[in-house]
Amino acid sequence: MSAGFNGFGSAYFDGDRPISEEVSLHIANQNLQIGLDDGSTLFWPVKDIRVLQDGADKNSYSLRLITDPLARLFVTDKTLLGYLPNATRRAPPKGRGRLAAWAVAAVAAVALQVTVLVPLLADRLAVFIPPAGERALGEATFEQIRNALDETGMAPLAMCENPAGVRALAQMTAALNAGEGALEGLSVTVLDHEMINAFALPGGFVVIFKGLIDQAKTPDEVAAVLAHEIGHVVSRDPTRHALRSAGSIGILGLLFGDFAGGAAVLFLTERLISATYSQQAETDADTFGYARLEAANVSPAALGTMFERLRDEHGEGNELLNHFLSHPSLGDRIENARAAADATRDYAAILDDAAWADLQAICD
């Protein structure tokens, strides 16, 4: 079988000089015969010819020979393509082993950073940040979270500042943050959001969401959560956490690029709110909370009561309760809270009915 093609406008480049040579094109004996002006003829086996991909022009294309990385044949006759059986076959990727090795190295480097180096460094450094610095870190994170949670896109999420409610909250805070080891500059804020959640930030910021107050049946339940968060503040868990995320945000941005950098930041803010500290840190905060509740003559069992009701109402693993229920072994925590209460003691409510009503109306 032999076929000739229109060589007008076609050109051969020898891969050494940027000079185009006019050609005549034939296929015979499974070879593309490229006739040059000096009388010589090149033989390209048709099975070894590939067409360059993603060309912008539909009426011309460039061919290459797999055994010659440099020479190119520029062709304007489209019928030639029908004679090249492997024109669009891809070359297997070169150096797969090396690629795999670096891929593993990259994943390992990131994992090492995010799970070992950054936490280790953050834990060590957190102790050395002076109070003013912690405060600034907390303020920055607080604003970030308020902005992230806002759904209107206009202003940061509103803080609840009904004066009577604020007074009731201050009364509760004072009762829990009293005696030996009372914290300086503890500030407790309620944010107007449906989430059933509360969290601590560096520098003594504790944030309670309105959803949590709505869910609580007694002021003691709110107090139990507050005491737990104060426990985190005292052990500086949020500071460690914030430093860790400062280190991790950059790495995640690096991995995803501008392509999904925004999504990564969104994701991290979410992580920050539902900050899961280590199980030990949670247990310590619980223990701390029980002690403070005892000191304020409030039953530590309130925490267990609340958890139990939430679990019964929404079921375990329900997303609504993301924060509390994502903590491991909820059942244990309920048991522990019960056990921490002294059955013989006569506990009182942390707020009287009027103050509790005020606190419930803090966002109105």
Partner 1 sequence: MTDATLTYPASGPEGLPVQFVGKRSALFWLALKTGFLTVITLGFYRFWMKTRLRRWFWSAIRPGGHPMEYVGDPWEKLLGFFIAVVVLTFYIGVVNLMVMFVSFSVFASASVGYLASAIGVIPIWFYARYRARRYVLARTRWRGVRFGLEKGAWGYAWRALMHWAVTILTLGLLWPRMTFALEKYVTDRTYFGSARLHQDGRWTMLYRAAIPIFVSLLILAAGAGWLLWWDPVVVSADITAEGVARSFEEIMDGGVPAFPVVGAERLAIFPLGIMGLLYGAIHYRFASKRLMANHKTSEGISLQSRLSGPRVASIYVLGSFIAYLALLVGIVGLVIFAFVTLGPSAMMDGAFGDFGADVDIPCGMALALVAVFYLSVFLMWNVLYSTFVTFPLMRHMTKTLSLPQRYGLQVISQRDRDEFTEAEGFAEALDLGAAI
Query: In the range 135-154, which residues lie near partner 1 by CB under 8 A?
Result: 135-137, 140, 148-149, 151
The phi, psi pair for 231, rounded to 5°, reads -60, -40
- Type of residue at 130: P
Task: Pull the structure tokens for residue 315.
Answer: 């079921």
Q: Work out which of 26, 72, 271, 309 binds partner 1, going by CB under 8 A.
A: 72
Q: How far apart are CA 340 and CA 300, in angstroms?
A: 6
Q: Work out which of 134, 221, 282, 286 binds partner 1, going by CB under 8 A.
A: 134
User: By CB under 8 A, is residue 98 in contact with partner 1?
Assistant: yes
- Type of residue at 169: L
CB atoms within 10 A of CB 306: 24
Write down the least CB distance from residue 240 to partner 1, Å. Answer: 11
Handedness of CA 348, 291, 183, 286 (dihedral sign): negative
End-to-end distance of the chain based on CA atoms, in angstroms?
90
The phi, psi pair for 115, rounded to 5°, reads -95, -25
The phi, psi pair for 26, rounded to 5°, reads -140, 155
Q: Which stretch binds partner 1 (CB under 8 A): 20-28, 164-172, 288-296, 340-348?
A: 20-28
User: By CB under 8 A, is residue 319 in contact with partner 1?
Assistant: yes
Q: Which stretch binds partner 1 (CB under 8 A): 109-117, 161-169, 226-234, 344-352?
A: 109-117
- Residue 260 CB partners (closer than 8 Å, separation 6+): none
Write down the least CB distance from residue 260 to partner 1, Å. Answer: 6
User: By CB under 8 A, is residue 157 in contact with partner 1?
Assistant: no
Write down the least CB distance from residue 291 to partner 1, Å. Answer: 30
Q: Work out which of 41, 47, 55, 315 binds partner 1, going by CB under 8 A.
A: 55
Q: Which stretch binds partner 1 (CB under 8 A): 47-55, 278-286, 295-303, 355-363?
A: 47-55
Write down the least CB distance from residue 250 to partner 1, Å. Answer: 4
